Amino acid sequence: MGDEARGLSEDVVDVLVVGAGFGGMYALHKLRGLGFSVRVLERGHGVGGTWYWNRYPGARCDIESLEYSYSFSAELQQDWGWTQRYPTQPEMRAYAEHVADRFDLRPHITFGVAVTTAAYDEDDGCWRVGTDAGDLITARFLVLATGVLSAASVPQFPGQERFRGRIVHTGSWPEDTEVDGLRVGVVGTGSSGIQVVPHLAERAGHLSVFQRTANYSISAANQPLAPEYVRDVKARYPELREQARRSFTGSTVPINRQSALAVDQEERDRRFEERWALGGFAFLGSFDDVTRDPEANRLAARFVEDKIRAAVDDPTTAELLVPTGHPIGSRRICVDTGYHATFNLPHVRLVDVRRAPITGLTEAGLRTADGEEHPLHLLVLATGFDAMTGSFVRIDVRGRGGVTLREKWADGARTYLGLQTAGFPNLFTLTGPGSPAVLCNMFLALEQHVDWVADLLVEMRERGARTVEPTVDAEQDWSEQVARAAERTLYPQADSWYVGANVPGKPRVFLPYAGGVGKYRRICEQVVVDGYRTFVFDADLTVV
């Protein structure tokens, strides 16, 4: 196919955006509206990013639809009708498609093309971007909207090539995956595994769930949205959105400001029960100190552990499903519908691969260290992602002096505000490491980043500046702030993707900013008020 037919005839643009998920789409809309020429390259064949790829049975958002949506257009948020409290993947995808059509985004997106290289040219201050189709595009600004949970982490088991069944990853689920009546295995019991298991159990002939680490999961209490509730939210949208932007967690559900240790057990249980009934993440806000104080955390954990024991008939299985060794909330909490009760079904088995690890695959199935072979037709890898940095460093991004982003981040990702990294002028990492995005509502985080980048680009146009990058000092200071914010929480106590522990060889650094969404926003706003003193513009560089 020629470039023109694929829409790549224009090979010089102001802004090249990589990824047509919700961040990339908003960046396209916003920056075009400000008069920049923008092109988006997307490796998938449709919009939606995460919600395009994660189409495994049962995939559903764990943040409420009325919050997990764009706020930039009052008309859009009034017109779009969500049907359920937690939107399904098909509903999220339909929303993405609607946004693409409504704002006429498709003509500016090239689908089915993956960006493989991006090199900063120090002579003209532009990025030369290469794709797997051999295209070369020149852009003044490069916006990586590649997602924070999009580079799949795929274990390679010994003997994998011999396995006669099919292997699929939840994060790129093929639409023709057959499940009905088959012997299915699932490796992984994080958010994806916990969501897919009940749905596979409905259709598989036999289901084996290979669990290495049990995770805390809160019941979703999903339900259809009541029309009067939707009307109320829509009537108060501006106020509610602003409340979320200024909050700690990016949500309008308030944290109970009491300490769990300041009330008696009856009152504590009443509060936990109330939050449990609300469903989802709200549980962690039962008390002010659940995520910070080990004792308060233990009380909340014990409450959830008892819920697991009550849901599972077989006491040995129940004990295996009870998480140990990490505080509740220190790994991303899961939100489920009927996960634990699935293990009461006669054809569903929990296999403890902490006790007897997976040793490899055979022609017929999966083998564990105790010598047992588990016959399988389909192996589902719900094994997660090289989170927060993977999608950026999988592209061969080269900044000043030909240094790659992978080299620069070899000892841990360093950014300024999660948005830029020194030595890579005019490169923006939307919701990058060092930003609070994964600890809040991704839409809120993406909109803030895109708006902030847009303001900076307008500022540069007005100043006549060609390039921008943060100072090394600002980046160093921010990295220290990110580390300090994490130290005030229980997050670092767990092996999780927040610290890169799920990817062999990845340096252990707490990646998100845990100081709160509202505080982070104020810091970003202050940078602008202070005239971007923590950035270097090319005019300054010529002086140096």
Q: Going along 424-509, which residue ranges are E strands? A: 427-429, 468-470
The answer to the question of residue 251 lying near ligand NAP (CB under 6 A) is: no
Pair 46, 97: CB distance under 8 Å:
yes
* Rounded Cα–Cα distance for residues 1 and 109 (Å): 16
Q: Which is nearer to ligand NAP, 235 or 501 (CB)?
A: 501
The answer to the question of residue 217 lying near ligand NAP (CB under 6 A) is: no
Taking CB under 6 A as the binding criterion, the range among 69-77, 187-195, 265-273, 441-449 that sits at the site for ligand NAP is 187-195
Pair 467, 538: CB distance under 8 Å:
yes
For 288, list phi and psi in degrees, rounded to 5. Answer: -60, -35
Taking CB under 6 A as the binding criterion, the range among 4-12, 184-192, 276-284, 393-401 that sits at the site for ligand NAP is 184-192
Q: What number of residues does the chain have? A: 544
Single out the residue of 33, 155, 294, 507 in contact with ligand NAP (rule: CB under 6 A). 155
User: What count of other Cβ atoms lies within 10 Å of the Cβ of residue 484?
Assistant: 11
Tell me the residue number closest to ligand NAP, measured at CB. 190
Q: Which is nearer to ligand NAP, 211 or 297 (CB)?
A: 211
* Rounded Cα–Cα distance for residues 526 and 508 (Å): 30
Q: Going along 355-399, which residue ranges are E strands? A: 358-361, 365-368, 373-375, 378-381, 396-398
Closest CB 190 distance from ligand NAP, rounded Å = 2
At 279, list the tokens.
């469903």
Single out the residue of 61, 143, 179, 499 in contact with ligand NAP (rule: CB under 6 A). 61
**Four-point Cα dihedral 125, 129, 135, 140, nearest 10:** -40
Q: Which is nearer to ligand NAP, 59 or 474 (CB)?
A: 59
Q: Which is nearer to ligand NAP, 131 or 291 (CB)?
A: 291
End-to-end CA distance of the chain: 47
Interface with ligand NAP: number of residues (CB under 6 A): 25
Taking CB under 6 A as the binding criterion, the range among 121-129, 174-182, 186-194, 535-543 that sits at the site for ligand NAP is 186-194
Pair 298, 324: CB distance under 8 Å:
no
The answer to the question of residue 457 lying near ligand NAP (CB under 6 A) is: no
Single out the residue of 113, 187, 301, 413 in contact with ligand NAP (rule: CB under 6 A). 187
Pattern 109-138, ligand NAP, x by CB under 6 A: ------------------------------
User: H or E segment at 405?
Assistant: helix 405-408
Q: Scan residues 188-207 and list those touching ligand NAP (CB under 6 A).
A: 188-193, 195
Token pair 């007897």 is at which residue? 356
- The distance from CA 231 to its chain's CA centroid, rounded to whole angstroms, is 29
The answer to the question of residue 308 lying near ligand NAP (CB under 6 A) is: no
Pair 164, 155: CB distance under 8 Å:
no
Closest CB 152 distance from ligand NAP, rounded Å = 9
The answer to the question of residue 64 lying near ligand NAP (CB under 6 A) is: no
Residue 337's identity, in one-letter code, is T
Single out the residue of 497, 510, 520, 535 in contact with ligand NAP (rule: CB under 6 A). 497
The answer to the question of residue 534 lying near ligand NAP (CB under 6 A) is: no
Closest CB 331 distance from ligand NAP, rounded Å = 7
Pair 443, 70: CB distance under 8 Å:
yes
Closest CB 253 distance from ligand NAP, rounded Å = 16
Pattern 348-387, ligand NAP, x by CB under 6 A: -----x----x-----------------------xxxx--
The answer to the question of residue 441 lying near ligand NAP (CB under 6 A) is: no
The answer to the question of residue 342 lying near ligand NAP (CB under 6 A) is: no
* Rounded Cα–Cα distance for residues 109 and 331 (Å): 35
Q: Which is nearer to ligand NAP, 213 or 291 (CB)?
A: 213
Pair 496, 503: CB distance under 8 Å:
no
User: What count of other Cβ atoms lies within 10 Å of the Cβ of residue 162?
Assistant: 11
Taking CB under 6 A as the binding criterion, the range among 58-66, 338-346, 420-428, 470-478 that sits at the site for ligand NAP is 58-66
Pair 477, 523: CB distance under 8 Å:
no
Q: Which is nearer to ligand NAP, 71 or 383 (CB)?
A: 383
Pair 510, 387: CB distance under 8 Å:
no
Q: What is the 8-class DSSP label of residue 473?
A: H
Closest CB 377 distance from ligand NAP, rounded Å = 19
Which letter, b or e, does each residue of 391-430 get, where b requires 16 or more Cβ atoms within 10 Å of its Cβ? Answer: bbbbbebbbeeeebbeebbeebbbbbbbbbbbbbbbbbbb
Single out the residue of 62, 64, 67, 386 in contact with ligand NAP (rule: CB under 6 A). 62
The answer to the question of residue 147 lying near ligand NAP (CB under 6 A) is: no
**Applying CB under 6 A, which residues contact ligand NAP?**
60-62, 149, 155, 187-193, 195, 210, 212-213, 332, 353, 358, 382-385, 497, 502
